[in-house]
Amino acid sequence: MIQYEKAICPYCSCGCGIYLVIEDGKIINQEPQSDHPVNEGGNCPKGRNAYQFLYAEDRLTTPMIRKSGRLVEVSWNEALDYIADYLKKAGPNEFGMLASGKNTNEDAYVIQKFTRVVMGTNNIEYCGRICHSSTAAGLGPTVGSGVMPISQLDLEKVDCIFLVGINLKETFPLMYKRALRAKAAGAKVIVMDPRKTVTARELADVHLQLKSGTDVVVINALMKIILDEGLENKEFIETRTVGIEELRTHLASLDLDELSKICGIPLTKLKRAAEIFAKAKIGSVLYNQGLNQHISGTDGIRALSTLALITGQYGRPGTGLSPTRGQVNGEGSGDMGCLNVFYPGFQKVGTPAEPHKKFAELWGVQTLPDQPGLPYTKLIQQTKYLWIVGTNPMMAIPDIDNVKKSLQEKELLIVQDIFPTETAQLADVLLPASAWVEREGTHAYVDRRVQKIDQLIEAPGTAKPDWWIVVQVAERMGFKEKFDFSSPQEIFEEIRRVVPSYRGITYERLDKTLGGIQWPCPSEDHPGTSTFFTEKFNTPDGLGHLQVVNYIPPAELPDKDYPYILSTGRSIFHYHTGTMSRRTPKLDAEVSDAYVEINPKDAALQSIREGSTVLLTTRRGRIEAEARVTDNVPEGFVFLPFHFSESCANKITNPVLDPNCGMPEYKVCAVKMEVSK
């Protein structure tokens, strides 16, 4: 018997609807969901091939423990007892846990609660640290909230879209579709990116092709032009912001010709972009890792938010600064508290609100940790006992050789995943997890849109949901009463009690609401919130705080030994570290090997031709990739996707961190290249 069941795509955070065709308990095909408001019957290449990875031959199906140097299959009881016995010996500062942007809200909530209640530490992190920690650090001081303040559906209603460090067509194709509609209706599009991406080529009215790492310079130039020419929104500034005089004084001290020289953008282009954005009635700013992943990423976001504030582009549908989280539940895992400085609901550790006391009462324990835990990279380096759930730091973190060394030195490394990833191969205990429609739960998508995913098929072998595994260990460590959950719905009911913004969202409502509900949703009769900041910002005084930001160059610039800038990014056919997409035959067939984009003049200097195997070397190591010679990258700049384990980009990237948030500088490091012998 064939069934057609609704689901949500497991890839990016747009949250597109699909139908799965199921026969005899196995998915055999899929179709787009025509009535889903996010995708309206369209899917991107990943969305059109959403389910095949579930049936890859190397799915993990049975728990394993390393014995005599080999991973050996064991029962669940043996594996869970083994973990519990080890963790009883771990002190709070010795233990760390890494969650995932692919976890459900329910998984993520249980993971962070285990870390705090059972292990007594805030050493809980997830991939948000290496994607959007600069967002929280940058938007917190300016507007008081680091989430998308609008509905993605409103993008097609704006008359100016400013895309900063985001290749929208390849990373969020369904949002790109809405941008195309806006442009067809007359909207102007500004793209700020060092590369001539397909987005810049197809969509941009103005392409600000900056030198990599000079984002703050460009934004300061735009603000100076706007203020010098009187294009600012004076009423909005007066009634809804503070700090304009300090900003004016700072920008007045800057020289536009010098700024133009530093960023490499002609002054005429800067002036045109400034005028377009300032005169827009409804201006929308979308940004991603091209802005975030620098040592100055936080500064760039503070400056960009200030640009939106002085032009009055906040508080109406479609306006504001929109961080575009890439993982399917990149938003929700943060909402649930999987960061070392936040309890659930972004209640910050160490603030006068004392969330540790509030949650101690809610969870029925005497004490909870009141100091921030270690950030992602330091968790890997400094803990003795590390539990990694659904994430792959052996592909995702810069300077992989040192990451591997740290993981191999653990007293106990637990890895919980669906495949034997590069990280899983180092585990002392390897646990098989169920994936996507093999379990039930909720996700919060890019615009805070909470949607529910039903279990539609059985997981392979004895694979279990992430939340169930953690609950079982908690029970064995004496915390059964605090983790008395028998279903995801029971977990979600506790989430509703402790996270005010989720209070009005129920499983029943989600089952009946096509396209989900955007938090905050304070009561069950509330429709959800599509637009933030309509009357005030989330800062203590309710005002937007304009920021004075100085330019800080990247940590590692080209020199005679390493004469080129290397930057990393994505391909439309793959997803992050490739765990799912590279096990999907149709996607892997499109782009099956690593490549490096090189400008024709640079290629000629190094005797590199299209298709040559290129050796890329930095101060961390070396890898090989196939040359793609193209003027889509400027001279002195090479671009490398990070999806390919055989040519792992993060073997050679720079591990230096943004001091404000611990974000690695993935987007700029010095590299040399030559034809491989």
pLDDT > 90? residue 128: no
Determine, yes or no, domain membership for 11.
Answer: yes
pLDDT in tens, 340-396: 999 999 999 988 889 999 999 999 999 999 999 999 999 999 999 999 999 999 999
pLDDT > 90? residue 68: yes
pLDDT in tens, 551-585: 999 999 999 999 999 999 988 888 888 888 899 99
Determine, yes or no, domain membership for 232.
Answer: yes
User: CA nearest 559: which of 655, 649, 636?
Assistant: 636
In percent, the amount of the chain with pLDDT more than 90 equals: 93
Burial of 358 (0-12, 13-18, 19+ CB in 10 A): middle
Check whether residue 165 and residue 314 sit in a common domain. yes
Check whether residue 489 and residue 623 sit in a common domain. no
Q: What would the mean pLDDT of 434-459 be, rounded to a whole number?
A: 97
> Could you give the C-alpha distances from 31 to 11, 198, 217, 358, in angstroms and in order?
15, 26, 45, 46
β-strand 124-125 against 160-164: which pairing, if any?
unpaired
Q: What would the mean pLDDT of 527-533 be, rounded to a whole number?
A: 97
Q: Give the Cα separation of 9 and 599 in Å (integer).
A: 36
In this prediction, residue 131 carries a pLDDT of 83
In this prediction, residue 33 carries a pLDDT of 94
Instruction: Look at residues 502, 518, 534 and tell me which one is the last residue of a structural domain.
Output: 518
Determine, yes or no, domain membership for 333.
Answer: no
DSSP for 378-411?
Answer: HHHHH-SEEEEES--HHHHSSSHHHHHHHHHT-S
In this prediction, residue 1 carries a pLDDT of 81
Residue ranges of the alpha helices (H) in 3-104? 76-87
Residue ranges of the alpha helices (H) in 521-638? 585-590, 600-605
pLDDT in tens, 169-213: 999 999 999 999 999 999 999 999 999 999 999 999 999 999 999
Beta bridge partners of 423: none
Determine, yes or no, domain membership for 311.
Answer: yes
pLDDT in tens, 460-505: 999 999 999 999 999 999 999 999 999 999 999 999 999 999 999 9
pLDDT > 80? residue 22: yes
Determine, yes or no, domain membership for 550.
Answer: no
β-strand 622-629 against 613-617: which pairing, if any?
antiparallel
Check whether residue 408 and residue 287 sit in a common domain. no
Burial of 336 (0-12, 13-18, 19+ CB in 10 A): buried
CA angle 123, 128, 130 (to 5 degrees): 90
pLDDT > 90? residue 130: no
CA angle 113, 114, 117 (to 5 degrees): 75
CATH number of residue 598's parent domain: 2.40.40.20
Range of the domain at 473: 64-117+343-518
Beta strand ranges found along 611-652 (DSSP E)? 613-617, 622-629, 637-641
User: CA nearest 75: which of 475, 386, 431?
Assistant: 431
CA atoms within 13 A on the CB side of 567: 28
Determine, yes or no, domain membership for 541.
Answer: no
CATH number of residue 269's parent domain: 3.40.228.10
Q: What would the mean pLDDT of 626-637 be, rounded to a whole number?
A: 97
Check whether residue 509 and residue 621 sit in a common domain. no
Q: Which residues fall within 8 angstroms of residue 92, CB to CB, at 6 or more apart? A: 119, 120, 121, 123, 369
Check whether residue 293 and residue 415 sit in a common domain. no
Check whether residue 11 and residue 88 sit in a common domain. no
Check whether residue 175 and residue 305 sit in a common domain. yes
pLDDT confidence tier of residue 295, bands split at 50, 70 and 90: very high
Check whether residue 208 and residue 291 sit in a common domain. yes
Check whether residue 227 and residue 347 sit in a common domain. no
> CB of 416 within 8 A of CB of 469?
yes
Check whether residue 370 and residue 506 sit in a common domain. yes
In this prediction, residue 481 carries a pLDDT of 95
In this prediction, residue 572 carries a pLDDT of 87
> Could you give the C-alpha distances from 523 to 389, 492, 507, 529, in angstroms and in order?
32, 15, 14, 11
Which range (17-26, 66-75, 126-135, 273-282) has the least confidence?
126-135
Determine, yes or no, domain membership for 545.
Answer: no
Check whether residue 143 and residue 108 sit in a common domain. no
In this prediction, residue 576 carries a pLDDT of 82
Check whether residue 611 and residue 655 sit in a common domain. yes
Cα-Cα-Cα-Cα dihedral sign, residues 565, 566, 571, 575: negative
pLDDT > 80? residue 677: no
User: CA nearest 173: which of 323, 43, 319, 48?
Assistant: 43
CATH number of residue 14's parent domain: 2.20.25.90
Dihedral class, residue 247 (left if φ above 0, else alpha if ψ from -120 to 50, else beta): alpha
CA atoms within 13 A on the CB side of 133: 27
Instruction: Look at residues 261, 289, 323 and tell me which one is the last residue of a structural domain.
Output: 323
pLDDT > 80? residue 588: yes
Q: Domain total for the chain?
A: 4
User: CA nearest 111: which of 364, 387, 393, 442?
Assistant: 387
In this prediction, residue 592 carries a pLDDT of 87
Determine, yes or no, domain membership for 337.
Answer: no
Average confidence score pLDDT of the chain: 96
User: CA nearest 623: which of 605, 643, 598, 650?
Assistant: 650
**Amino acid identity of 660?**
N
pLDDT confidence tier of residue 591, bands split at 50, 70 and 90: confident
CATH number of residue 378's parent domain: 3.40.50.740
In angstroms, how far is the first alpha carbon of the chain from the final one?
57
Q: What would the mean pLDDT of 264-287 be, rounded to a whole number?
A: 98
In this prediction, residue 123 carries a pLDDT of 98
Q: Give the Cα separation of 584 and 232 in Å (integer).
A: 49
Dihedral class, residue 312 (left if φ above 0, else alpha if ψ from -120 to 50, else beta): left
pLDDT in tens, 236-246: 999 999 999 99
Q: What would the mean pLDDT of 523-548 be, rounded to a whole number?
A: 97
